Amino acid sequence: MTCVRANTSRACGREEISMNKQDLIAKIAKDTGSSKAGAAAAVDSMIDGITRSLKKGDSITFVGFGTFKTALRKARMARNPQTGAAIKVPKRRVVRFSVGKALKEHVR
């Protein structure tokens, strides 16, 4: 079996197809009948809006798709796997994504 798409990989006999940003832009341009430049601007604007909101600590909800939000990860002690020495990992904010009900149902 040969892979037709450039961003297709075969792992353990299974094909794994992924969509990257350029694939998404091409699909949006095709579906809406707009140019790729217009679709790229829309995708960039959406990503920028999500990033800015998360940076401020706000959550973003797309009903049926899911919710992006930030959470605080506590400081902890970890081990360097090469030396076994204990290192302190500082607390930090991380991004979390909760899947919406409709997306969960479509994926099943």
**pLDDT 10s digits, 44-90:** 999 999 999 999 999 999 999 999 999 999 999 999 999 999 999 99
Is residue 79 within 8 A of residue 87, CB to CB? The reply is yes
In DSSP terms, 56 is beta-bridged to none
Its pTM stands at 0.73
Domain annotation for the chain: domains and CATH numbers? 1-57 (no CATH), 59-108 (4.10.520.10)
| E runs forming strands in the chain | 8-11, 14-17, 60-62, 66-73, 76-79, 86-89, 92-99
pLDDT number for residue 1:
38
* pLDDT value of residue 2: 42
Is the Cα torsion angle 76, 72, 18, 12 positive or negative in sign? positive
